[in-house]
Amino acid sequence: MDRRRFLTALGCSAAAHPLITPVAMAQGPWDNRLVVIILRGGMDGIDAFRPVGDPNFARYRPKLNSKGALDLDGYWSLHPSLAPLFPLWQAGEMGFVPAVSTPYRGKRSHFEGQDLLEAGGPLPIGADPDGWLNRMIQTVPGLSADIAYSVGDTPARTLDGKAPVSQWSPGVHVGLNPHSSRLLGMIYENDPMFHAAAQDAIEMASVARADVGTSEEIDEAMQSEDMMGMMGGSVPKGNHVEVAKFAAARLLGPTRIASFSLSGWDTHGNQDFAIKRPLKSLAETILTLRAGLGPIWEKTGVLCMTEFGRTARQNGTQGTDHGTGGAMLYAGGALRGGRVGGPFPGLAEANLYDRRDIMPMADIRAHAAWVMHGLFGLGTSDLERNVFPGLDLGDNPELVL
């Protein structure tokens, strides 16, 4: 970025901005869409999707077996706070893989677990921590930055890396007049980091303005009868909804990949209460994407991944501690929902990992890889060599329709 372009970016109006002028947008080679949601804190997979058909379940979790769960198939039932997604399960637009994990084992640290999940594998010491979605984008030459969006306050590290991607967060305002902008441009000129950050901030503020029109259409879609029925009659609100609306708006345009995170899953105590809010936010996020995407939902896959699952038994404080295997929820018209997308080892103590956690039956990265293979036609060798180096893809779990 040379100084001239920076100064122009700082001072220019939204309409003239290169990033949001329609002709400047390069189309990606793909038509399908992928949304990756990182659930930070370790979602308790067997609370979201309860294996009530296993007699150990009620025994292990006397306080985490609240009424109102919806029967899915006689063995599994859906947590009451995910009830808004039940119609999607019925329509074959939502499913889950019950026992997956990254290769992370042992210390059960959130921070190490999330790093590994977002990097897509163990990081070589001293390597630049890039994310697996970014490496995937790098395998396809010539894509423009708006092919992928990292959305929300916490940048999606799945998209960190060499390939240019875009970022947005709700409520970014810079509030500079043209004179201040010009002067600021001068003092940032010799500091590449500040220079780039300020330029991105200004672009982001103008993108947000330009999307107001699309956002109104999404608001209308969210008030449709269908949507109101699932949401129990109220329009969802909050930061996560803004993030999902924005992601949908971009995915209606040239963007093909969006990634963001939802937090609040670290339910060590009083989980019966504590998990309600994050589950509700997750359901609202998915329904907002669905409403916002309209017909494009048919071409979309949403993967919800967490750093690890939690202990099979409830702990002393009516919550659960950090575990190993967990569930991956997936949704979207392009994926094969309405079914359990992988094996479950059961809860018998001998089948637990370390006699305490859900035993992972597959590598969650392989599922993500096969979904990218199915949605974007990426070759398996690229996936095993470049996107998830060293991963053995195994058999295709056929999550993509």
Q: Name the site residues for other proteins (rule: CB under 8 A).
A: 41, 62, 106-112, 153, 155, 167, 169, 171-176, 179-180, 183-184, 186-191, 193-194, 197-198, 200-205, 263, 266, 268-269, 313, 315-317, 319, 321-322, 354
Of 60 and 376, nearer to other proteins (C-beta) is 60
Q: Smallest gap, in angstroms, from Cβ of residue 106 to other proteins?
A: 6
Closest by alpha carbon to 286, among 72, 87, 102, 67?
87
Residues pairing with 331 in the sheet: 94, 302
- 144 vs 141: CA distance, rounded Å: 9
First to last CA, the chain: 42
Question: Side by side, which strands form the sheet with 49-50?
Answer: 49-50, 77-78, 70-71
Q: Smallest gap, in angstroms, from Cβ of residue 89 to other proteins?
A: 31
Q: Smallest gap, in angstroms, from Cβ of residue 167 to other proteins?
A: 6
Q: Smallest gap, in angstroms, from Cβ of residue 127 to other proteins?
A: 13
Contact 316, 72 (CB under 8 A): no
Of 32 and 114, nearer to other proteins (C-beta) is 114
CA angle 330, 295, 154 (to 5 degrees): 50
CA angle 196, 202, 203 (to 5 degrees): 85
Contacts of 127 (CB under 8 A, 6+ apart): none
Closest by alpha carbon to 19, among 211, 182, 169, 171?
211
Of 68 and 269, nearer to other proteins (C-beta) is 269
Q: Smallest gap, in angstroms, from Cβ of residue 146 to other proteins?
A: 14
Helix/strand/coil (H/E/C) assignment for every residue in 176-229: CCHHHHHHHHHHHCCCHHHHHHHHHHHHHHHHHHHCHHHHHHHHHHHCCHHHHH
Q: Smallest gap, in angstroms, from Cβ of residue 76 to other proteins?
A: 26
Of 110 and 276, nearer to other proteins (C-beta) is 110
Supply 123's token pair: 């990081």
Of 177 and 381, nearer to other proteins (C-beta) is 177
Of 205 and 227, nearer to other proteins (C-beta) is 205
Q: How far is CA 295 from the centre of its chain?
A: 20
Q: Smallest gap, in angstroms, from Cβ of residue 379 to other proteins?
A: 32
Q: Smallest gap, in angstroms, from Cβ of residue 160 to other proteins?
A: 9
Of 265 and 330, nearer to other proteins (C-beta) is 265
Of 187 and 348, nearer to other proteins (C-beta) is 187
- 288 vs 243: CA distance, rounded Å: 9
Closest by alpha carbon to 127, among 102, 162, 86?
162
